[in-house]
Structure 1
Amino acid sequence: MPDLLIGEGLRARDHHRLEDDARAAGPVHEARRPDGVRLLVVTAGLDLTRRLLADRRLSKDSGALQREMRRQFAASGSGQTDLTGLFGPSMLNSDDPRHARLRALAVKAFTSQAVRRLAPRVEEITADLVARLPVGEEVDLVSGLAVPMPLHVIGEVLGVPEQDRAAVRTMIETMLSMDPARSLPASDALGGYFHTLLTSGSFTEGSLFGALVAAEDDGDRLTHDELIAMAFLLVVAGHETTAGLIANVVHDALDNGLWQRAAADPDLVPVLVEETLRHNSPVRHATHRITTEPVEIDGVVVPENTILLVNLGAAGRCPRAHEDAASYRVDRATTGHASFGHGPHYCLGAALARLETETVVRHLAARFPGTTRAGDERPPVTHNDIMVSLRSLPVVLRTATGR
């Protein structure tokens, strides 16, 4: 079972069953990335998962993570030395005080007040995309709605010019593959794009990228490498995870007979979003951590300098936290998950992701309440060691009259 918890094993198998079986078997499991890096996956209950995500002995330092990965590359003789830009010195891959400094530079764009200001634009983008969808025809909701909507929003927030967004999406999609032969060149290409965007000032006026560059010019310690790493983090996390969440919520509502209820009762939509986050989040693991000293996890001592992935899916379906935890239900409390993380690295964009997902589902259900899945087969997925996302979601969009 261990190597099935990341990568290839999750692509063709029931990852819910794998994660839940792993949690029942014990908290710590050995696994290996396709590039050969050995790590541990922690599958625990919700309480322990939250404690681990807030435990400062589980470091997020990019330097320590990169050194350990490169040590393993050298020991294995694989010849690989490079890592994608996602392992750069962003706030995601930093400990305090640097993490706090970097987060403070970005947080203003994602406060609840800032998200409320974005709401009319999110509504406008969503309404336009939904209006373009054909009635009574089979369409792929991933490529037709779930991907472009958050890509447009985060592109506007950050300052990625509209004409560049499709190419950026292609580079990200390739970079997130588990094949180093494809992911590393894509990462280099994306890094080159961000370098040009940030140094030439071709980002849109009033954007977050503009604010980050201005902070550097004002004497902040933000380096060029930190700027590039921040760009990687915000563009990837700002749309890839939300696209996956939108697709999963629609899929789960349709498969659990809740779509027409959502169309009739918009207040049900936020509940659907939270239950999908708990039960079927596209983010399977919190991002990589490395131990700074030996850490005991529920009786298992994890050595210093061990790379860890903390599983979020098994925690959300923890039977100690929820009755009938393995089932998808909308009559339960909505706080029992850690899908946006916990502690200092709690997801900066959680409020925006919720807003975007709720807006899409509400518009889509109102316009197409008779929507059905196209076919009975499980939709195909893409995967890496952090996410499992629907590659496509074929549906037939129907109005209330079936036309």
Structure 2
Amino acid sequence: MSTDQDLPTDGLLTHPYAVYDRLRDSAPVHRITGPDGSPAWLVTRYGDVREALADPLLSLDKRHALPGGYKGFALPPALDANLLNMDPPDHTRIRRLVGRAFTTRRVEQLRVPIRQTADRLLDALGAHGGTDLIAAYAAPLPITVICDLLGVPDEHRRDFRAWTDVLVAPDPARPQAAKEAIVAMLGFFTQLLADKRKEPADDLLSDLIAVRDESDSAENGRLTEDELMSLTFLILFAGYENTVQLIGTAVLALLQHPDQLAALRADPTRLPAAVEEFMRYDGPALLAIRRFPLQDVTIGDVTVPAGETVLLSLAAADRDPRRFPDADRFDLGRDATGHLALGHGIHYCLGAPLARLETEIALAALLERLPDLKLDGDPDDLRWRPSLRARGLLTLQVTY
């Protein structure tokens, strides 16, 4: 079943899961007006979303969109040639080149440095008081980790955070801000690559530049210059933004469910499994990257014409009671494996091991260091990012 309907913006920003519940039951493949003002098909049931995520007939390449049908955010070619806009074989080639940097084994080597960063941030809070946990902890932790991994100098990290915030949640009152952020980021990455070429270091970006400079083309598994810059942008952007939001919503879920918080304090060894429930219950991405059918495809009982925009709701799928019984209940004892917060198929999140480890360590440090952590204020007054794609808190005021 499907009907034309605008996305209920207010409801999706404040109470997205209630909106998705209604859509999942009444019209699981639903014709809507998307966030960019263009028509799209919203898919909300777990089975349909999981199958679509791995369907090779659903392309990420914008060249397969109907002319004038997709009005998504435009990046310059030097930032747009990334994995989120690619299909095989280019996707396979680039993912293979960078994937070895994000294996579980290699990421595990970051455990001690991540914990040191977490402890340093918590030391700065003092023994007791109040703070915005997003600004003081959830944001600086992942930006420090990903910038250390890539080799981004300290003096540029604050600017990058500001540019990212503008792109994730553009201010309607400042329509030029996003364009200005893109211009600034392009200049930043151009200079960063030039500096790394002059003075290589023991970091991921220097390794990627070495791979790129072994050849002048993408033949034989190499990177083009645009692909190198776009990949750097994607790793920084996704490695920072998604983890910030996941840490924030995880802490909020624990503070709103004191019984679950107490159980986790009593047995911290449950943290790795708990991270899966945090992702399922309130993950950072409401929607997967848009897809474009290469031919007419059937999703559920609806035929979607070739070239139209398909939006796969990860958030709705992970609250589908057909897959997760009592899905709206936050339960750290649940088996949350199989959730789709990190995607599925060949486009499964490249940085998944790092996101899991950072969230686990961030929460472990909080549980150990701030035993009396409490939400400061009315939960109904929480402010969320004005984005229909990314789920995240603007602030999280706490006392400790």
The alignment's TM-score, normalised by the length of structure 1, stands at 0.90
Structure 1 106/328 Cα, relative in aligned 2: closer, same or farther at 3 Å? same
Cα distance, 1:342 vs structure 2: 0.2
2:348 aligned residue (321, 343, 346):
346
CA distance in 2, matches of 1:383, 1:81: 15
Unaligned runs of 5+ in 1: 74-79, 398-403
Amino acid paired to 2:176: A
Out of 9, 12, 20, the position equivalent to 1:10 is: 12
Query: Is 1:103 matched up with 2:103?
Result: no
Matched with 1:240 is 241
Per-residue Cα deviation, 1:338-396 (whole angstroms, up to 9, x for no partner) = 10000000001111101000101011011112111001233211133421210011110
Displacement of 1:160: 1.2
Alignment CA distance shift 1:71-1:200 (3 Å) = farther
1:234 maps to a residue whose letter is I
Pick closer, same or farther for the CA change 1:62–1:229 going to 2, 3 Å.
farther
After superposition, give the CA deviation of every residue in 1:273-321 in whole Å (9 maximum; x if it has no partner). Answer: 2112111112111112111111111111111111111001111111111
Of 195, 204, 207, which aligns to 2:203? 207
Q: Which residue of 1 aligns with 2:393?
A: 390
Distance 2:79 2:391 in 1: 19
- String of CA shifts for 1:87-112, please: whole Å, max 9, x gaps: 71212211011001111111111011
CA contact (8 A) 2:64 2:293 kept: no
Question: Matched residues, percent identical?
Answer: 33
1:1-400 alignment runs, 5 A limit: 2-4=5-7, 9-11=11-13, 13-33=14-34, 35-44=36-45, 46-64=46-64, 68=67, 82-83=74-75, 88-178=80-170, 179=172, 180-201=175-196, 205-219=201-215, 221=218, 222-257=223-258, 258-378=260-380, 379-397=382-400
The 1-side partners of 2:77 and 2:20 are apart by 28
**SS of match in other structure, 1:31:** strand
Give the structure-2-normalised TM-score.
Answer: 0.90
Given that 2:150 and 2:203 are in contact with CA atoms closer than 8 Å, whether structure 1 keeps it comes out as yes
In the TM superposition, what whole-angstrom CA distance separates every residue of 1:110-136 from its partner, at most 9, and x where no partner exists?
011111111111111111112211333
Contact 2:166/2:178 (<8 A) preserved: yes
Supply the distance in 2 between the matched residues of 1:278 and 1:91 (Cα, whole angstroms): 24
CA distance in 1, matches of 2:305, 2:79: 22
**CA RMSD, 1 decimal:** 2.2
8 Å Cα contact 1:57/1:293 also seen in 2: yes
Look up the SS of the partner of 1:122 in the other structure: helix
- Cα 1:277–1:270 change in 2 (3 A) is same
Structure 1: distance between partners of 2:227 and 2:51: 28
> Cα distance 1:336–1:35, how it changes in 2: closer, same or farther (>3 A)?
closer
Partners of 1:185 and 1:358 lie apart in 2 by 35
Q: 1:230 to 1:282 in 2, by over 3 A?
A: same
Are the structure 2 counterparts of residues 191 and 9 from structure 1 closer, same or farther at C-alpha, using a change threshold of 3 Å? farther
Deviation at 1:71, TM superposition (A): 5.8
**Partners of 1:245 and 1:3 in 2: CA distance:** 28
Q: What residue ranges of structure 2 are gaps of 5+ in the alignment?
A: none
**How many corresponding residue pairs?**
386
